[in-house]
Structure 1
Amino acid sequence: MYNLGGSVYWNRKTFKKWFATRPINLKWMLLVILVFPMFAATWEMKKSSGFSPLQLLGLLVFAFAFMSIISKKTKAPNLFFLFYVFLFLLITNLLLVFFYEGSFSQFGDTIRTILPFLLFFYFRKHLNSVIDIEGFLITFLIASVFPISTLYYEILFNPIREVYNTASRGGGLRLSGFYADLFGYMSHLICGFICYCYFYIKYSKRKSKHFIFSNVGFLFVLLICLIGIYNLRHQASWAVSLILLSMFVYFIRKQVSAFQLFVFFIIALGVGGYFYTQIFETLFAKDIAVYEGGAKETAALNGRVYLWKKYYAFWENFNVLGQWIGAGFAQHEKSSVMMSGGMHNDYVRFFFSTGIIGILCYVSFLIYLIKKTLKTRIVEFKFLLLASVIVILMYSISALPLLASGALMYFVVAIASQINKNIV
């Protein structure tokens, strides 16, 4: 390793040496991160054969993560007690619904729902140094080359699949390439930008640095991300990217010269202004109509409010146990749907899955994550942790960052797992 002031200077030789010397319990996961974009591109095979290599990969990851956790002797610091209460309620309800449904499909849903939390404990035990965290970030950036290259092939040359938004969602072509949905691309745009910002902040005080960490290099990376996000036409991702950009400018304010800070501020202001004048009214047309009284309240968030109200009506008729500790205790035919990705909102999904007590525990844990993050002293790690928690918080409103978000789920879970550990 090349050391500069106690930190690792990463290059191709350094990364190869780091990767080769990792223990098997971590190396297999790094290989999963590298091949995940290719496996994610096989989702259509499910239609013809009943399952896809991506599902098989998910099962293997679940099994390997479980075995890696129980085989690891060292222990990480304990977490917020209410988080364990939430997990207990979630797993109990999943098992109750599985026994009630008794289907292979429900078995798959159970595995998918538990997997993010299993990975949380896996990464918590196997990412145990600054070098390993940074190596993980670089591994993720390498894995991003294939999906981002594919996205730009679609942008510059020809769409692989033509999927158009409805007029009420702004219209236009939405790119998803070989993937099941736009998160195949968005995972690497959003999380790749977070990785880049981490290293930019870390190397900001160095006099001699790579072109990619100059002002022009930053603008180049930002354009790659924003042009990609623009072509994916996704409301939540615009909100997330603008918050991340604003956070970056805030965190870098003391690390760079006054001129650089001014440049970053102008860039952030320009991006925000362009979004408001050229994109906001088109992309959020339906929500604006709801706000102005031109559409029903249930049309908000692309009709998701209607969906939540529909299933909330079922929840109101559940027994006391079903309402307070989870839909699985209601033994209702709609319990499975209410605990699935069909809710398009992780807060609603966990509310139905764990009841009033469970969702209060989950929200308390999110608050705990934020508090611990804000106490982190190293600037680049503080940004990395806070950015990952913000991604979870914001995407959870209209998407499923802890269920159906591709590589994004692996990334945010890996980083969030480092909360309250001494290394950060």
Structure 2
Amino acid sequence: MGLTSLAVCILSLAIRPFHGILITFILKPFIDAAFLTYVGPLRVTEIFGVAVPLLLLPRIWVFHGAKFSKMPFAIIATIYLFSNLVGLALIFESGNTIGAANVTFRILSGYLGFFVLPLFINDRRKFKLLLITLLIAGLYPLGTSLFQSFTGHAWYLRQATGFTRNVGVYHDAFAMRIFIIQTGTAILLYWSYFTSGKPFQKMILGAYGSICIVALYNLYSKSAILVAIIWYLVWTVFQKKYIWLLMIPFMVIALNLLSGEKLINNVAHVFYKEIGAVEGTIDQRHVLSGRTVMWKDYFNRWLEAPIYNKLFGDAVSGAPHNDYLRVLITNGIFGLLIYLFLLSSLFF
């Protein structure tokens, strides 16, 4: 299924980019589920990561150059792209060709992400079609999560703090988390723009959203829980939905009582290391699964680098689980400032 989905995505993107983008969103969950499928030495997921930017970026530059140049963050995004070439050149020079290629296509995919939807989804009809596509795309991953919840069947056993994570057919919680957040975003946007005076659609979306919350909870993921809390605060405060700001905590308390206080206890267990660190009963090095120690090590490596590498990057291609730190190491202070300016340009 993964190989067939990959072929369909590539053909559709090459022939009809707009429809290809929609098809790609729908088939991406099947491609990610085929992470153990190889074509020669490459995984299906790796081929996908190379094919999409190679198919779409030239088309954007050639056929949508005028629109592209007028986009508010086009210049700074392009500067950021070229600033990455300095760090990539150093990685290539160090002999880590595979690592450099990996970073290259991740950067190209991120760069593409700033433009592909604004360029191709440019009216209300296409926007609605995109949201429906994302809602459809979430059915498969969320369905596998629910199946695992009801049957206890685990395709891949992934555990965290003693709990079995419902990752469905995916390699780890990261892929499932992305699909849940993607689906949740589509639910919120469709509800906001297209359900006025349509109570039945709101009921369906509400049920779908409840499934997302259950799936997110069953990941037992710290980042997933924190993202959900941030979403709740941002949505209620900035939309001035103060009734929901007060109601949701009471709903959580009610659900916790109905579950025999299992809900809160499980969440507290997920964060037991962080809680223990605050209470002084657990070494702070264990906070966030030891990532704070990893961040400190990477930052110290940057501090010890020569001044040129501090400014423009080093030949380090690692995975510090912190995008800002990765940019600082790979692209230096110069690259990090451009990256921060690029992100901030989305809000102006």
Could you tell me how far apart the structure 2 residues matched to 1:319 and 1:156 are?
55
Could you tell me how far apart the structure 2 residues matched to 1:78 and 1:197 are?
25
Where do 1:148-297 residues align within 5 Å?
Answer: 148-157=142-151, 158-165=153-160, 170-203=161-194, 205-206=196-197, 209-214=198-203, 217=204, 219-250=206-237, 262=243, 265-271=246-252, 274=256, 277-297=264-284
Moved more, 274-283 or 118-127: 274-283
Could you tell me how far apart the structure 1 residues matched to 2:246 and 2:280 are?
35
Q: Deviation of residue 96 (structure 1)?
A: 2.6
Could you tell me how far apart the structure 2 residues matched to 1:240 and 1:359 are?
23
- The 1:25/1:173 distance shift into structure 2, 3 A limit, reads same
> Cα deviation per residue 1:110-138 (whole Å; 9 max; x = unaligned)?
21232111232333322222322222121
| Aligned twin of 1:50 | 41
Kept after mapping to 1: 8 A contact 2:26/2:136: yes
Kept after mapping to 1: 8 A contact 2:237/2:245: no
- Letter paired with 1:29: I
- Letter paired with 1:176: V
Kept after mapping to 1: 8 A contact 2:32/2:175: yes
| Aligned twin of 1:15 | none
Match for 1:128 among 122, 128, 138? Answer: 122
Q: Deviation of residue 253 (structure 1)?
A: 5.3
- Letter paired with 1:344: H
Q: Deviation of residue 87 (structure 1)?
A: 2.7
> Cα deviation per residue 1:288-332 (whole Å; 9 max; x = unaligned)?
22222333333221100111112222222211111112114xxxx
Ranges in structure 2 where 5+ consecutive residues have no aligned partner = 1-11, 257-261
Q: Does 1:145 align with 2:139?
A: yes
> Cα deviation per residue 1:220-268 (whole Å; 9 max; x = unaligned)?
23321121111111111111112223444456657xxxxxx85784235
Higher share of residues assigned helix: 2
Match for 1:94 among 80, 83, 88? Answer: 88
Match for 1:322 among 298, 309, 318? Answer: 309
Q: Does 1:353 align with 2:334?
A: no
Give the RMSD, CA atoms, in angstroms.
2.8
Moved more, 175-184 or 76-85: 76-85
| Aligned twin of 2:6 | none
Could you tell me how far apart the structure 2 residues matched to 1:92 and 1:148 are?
40
Where do 1:303-318 residues align within 5 Å?
Answer: 303-318=290-305
Kept after mapping to 1: 8 A contact 2:277/2:287: yes
| Aligned twin of 1:366 | 343
Structure 1 residue runs of 4 or more that deviate by more than 6 Å after TM superposition: none
Counterpart secondary structure, 1:89? helix
Q: Give the TM-score of the pair, scaled to structure 1.
A: 0.69
* Number of residues of Structure 1 aligned to a counterpart in Structure 2: 325
Kept after mapping to 1: 8 A contact 2:236/2:244: no
Counterpart secondary structure, 1:327? coil
What fraction of aligned residue pairs are identical, expressed as a percent? 22
Kept after mapping to 2: 8 A contact 1:289/1:295: yes
- The 1:246/1:270 distance shift into structure 2, 3 A limit, reads farther
Q: Give the TM-score of the pair, scaled to structure 2.
A: 0.83
- The 1:102/1:357 distance shift into structure 2, 3 A limit, reads closer
Match for 1:71 among 62, 65, 70? Answer: 62
Match for 1:116 among 86, 105, 110? Answer: 110
Kept after mapping to 1: 8 A contact 2:180/2:215: yes
